[in-house]
Amino acid sequence: FLLPALLCLLTLLLPPLSLGAPTSPAEPISQAYSLALYMQKNTSMLLQTYLQYQGSPFSDPGFSAPELQLSSLPPAIVSFKTWHALDDGERLGRAQGAFLALTQHLQLVGDDQSSLNPGSPILLAQLRAARLRAQGLLGNMAAITTALGLPIPPEEDTLGLASFGASAFERKCQGYVVTREYGYWTDRAVRDLALLKAKYPG
């Protein structure tokens, strides 16, 4: 399960390494779209696995706490009108910002779970895989940005040191929000990239 995903990531990560080459945007868009689709298949499983290991009420069937949010993580859900009003650069820029934050948060959640659930290799592996995929998608988006000639958004450290020293409950909640938003952002990325794909057909 993990190995093919990693191989896939490696192939998808190649384009951004050759940034200088002027390439058609269709190819990186297609690659990013494929990766986003692949990620989309696993997001709900990641969320379910995560909740399953956190105990009640997280592990209760149908658990949902939309009121829980993280200030360091931009929310993925926007109205269609707002989303539609964005141009390609803005859409890509927001998605990149979100996945950058998500990679950092997923790293943090992985560390937290290593301490809370050290005997759960399945959960830890899924968190690790999700982080690697988010990084891969980031690379693909960077390639698209380059191919479209858009300005590359600056990398920001969204987490800083603020998240350290949180209580176990806060860390559980944080992990829940991160895995949930990871799914939302992946859905949104699929939508963004589908739009781009339609605009730049290969």
Partner 1 sequence: MDAASCLRRRSPRVAGESVKMTSNFRWFLPTFTLLCLLSRVSGQRKGAPRDLKCTTNNLRAWDCSWKAPSGAGRSALYEVCIENRSPPCYRSGKTNTKIPTLLPGDHEITINPLHDSGSSLSRFTLNEKDVSFIPDPPEILDLSADFPASTLHLKWTDRGSVFPHHSRVIWEIKVLRKDSMEVVKVVTHNTTLNGVDTVHHWSWASDMPLECATHSVGLRCYVDDPHFSGRKEWSDWSPLKNVSWSTDSPGKVFPQDKVILVGSDITFCCVTQEKVSSAQIGYAKCPLIHLDGENVAIRIHNISVSEDSGTNVVFTTKENIYGTVIFAGYPPDIPQKLNCETVDLRGIICTWDPGRPTALVGPRNTSYTLSESFSGKYVKFKRAEALINESYQLLFQILPDQELYNFTLTAHNPLGQSQARILVNVTERVYPRTPSSIKVKDINATAVTLSWHLPGNFAKIKLLCQVEINKMNSVQELRNVTIAGADGSRYLAAVGRLHPYTVYTFRVRCATEPFWKWSRWSDEKQYLTTEAIPSKGPDTWREWRSDGKNLIIYWKPLPVSEANGKILFYNVSCSSDEKTQSFSEIPDPQHKAEMQLDKNDYIISVVAKNSAGASPPSKIASMEIPNDDLRTEQAVGTGRGILLTWGHDPNATCDYVVKWCNASQAEPCLMDWRKVPANSTEAVIESDQFRPGVRYHFFLYGCRNQGYQLLRSVIGYIEELAPIVAPNFTVEDTSADSILVKWEDIPVEELRGFLRGYLFYFEKGERDTSKMRGLESGRPDVKVKNITDTSQKTLRIADLQGRTSYHLVLRAYTSGGLGPGKSMFVVTKENSVGLIIAILIPVAVAVLVGVVTSILCYRKREWIKETFYPDIPNPENCKALQFQKGICEGNSGLKTLEMNPCTPNNVEVLETRTAVPKIEDTEIVSPVAERPEESSPEADPESQVVVSYCPPVVEEEVPNPGADEGGGASQVIYIDVQSMYQPQARPEEELETDPAAGAGAAAGYKPQMHLPVTPAAEDAAAEDGADKSAGYRPQASVRAWNLASPDSPRSTDSNSEAVSFGSPCSINSRQFLIPPKDEDSPKSGGGGWSFTNFFQNKPND
Query: To the nearest whole angstrom, how small is the minimum distance from the Cβ of residue 25 to partner 1?
Result: 44
**What are the CA-CA distances from residue 79 to residues 10, 44, 86, 110, 196 (Å)?**
34, 22, 11, 31, 19
**Cβ nearer to partner 1, comparing 54 with 104:** 54
Interface residue with partner 1 among 71, 79, 82, 115 (CB under 8 A) is: 115
Query: To the nearest whole angstrom, how small is the minimum distance from the Cβ of residue 103 to partner 1?
Result: 23
State how far the Cα of 128 lies from the Cα of 132, in Å rounded to an integer. 6
Query: To the nearest whole angstrom, how small is the minimum distance from the Cβ of residue 68 to partner 1?
Result: 7
**Cβ nearer to partner 1, comparing 68 with 152:** 68
Q: Do the beta carbons of residue 140 and residue 12 sit within 8 Å?
A: yes
Q: Which of residues 49-108 bind partner 1 (CB under 8 A)?
A: 53-58, 60, 65, 67-68
Q: Which window, 26-34, 113-121, 151-159, 186-194, contacts partner 1 (CB under 8 A)?
A: 113-121
Distance of CA 191 to the CA centre of its chain: 14
Q: Say how many residues touch partner 1, by CB under 8 A.
A: 22
159-186 burial string, b = 16+ CB within 10 Å, else e?
beeebeeeeeeebbbbbbbbbbbbbebb
Q: How many CB atoms lie within 10 A of CB 157?
A: 10
Interface residue with partner 1 among 18, 162, 168, 199 (CB under 8 A) is: 168
Q: Which residue has tokens 């105990």?
A: 55
Interface residue with partner 1 among 23, 40, 107, 117 (CB under 8 A) is: 117
State how far the Cα of 159 lies from the Cα of 171, in Å rounded to an integer. 13
Q: Which window, 24-32, 102-110, 118-126, 155-163, contacts partner 1 (CB under 8 A)?
A: 118-126
Q: Do the beta carbons of residue 73 and residue 98 sit within 8 Å?
A: yes
**Cβ nearer to partner 1, comparing 9 with 124:** 124
> Would you tell me which residues interact with partner 1 (CB under 8 A)?
53-58, 60, 65, 67-68, 114-120, 167-169, 172-173
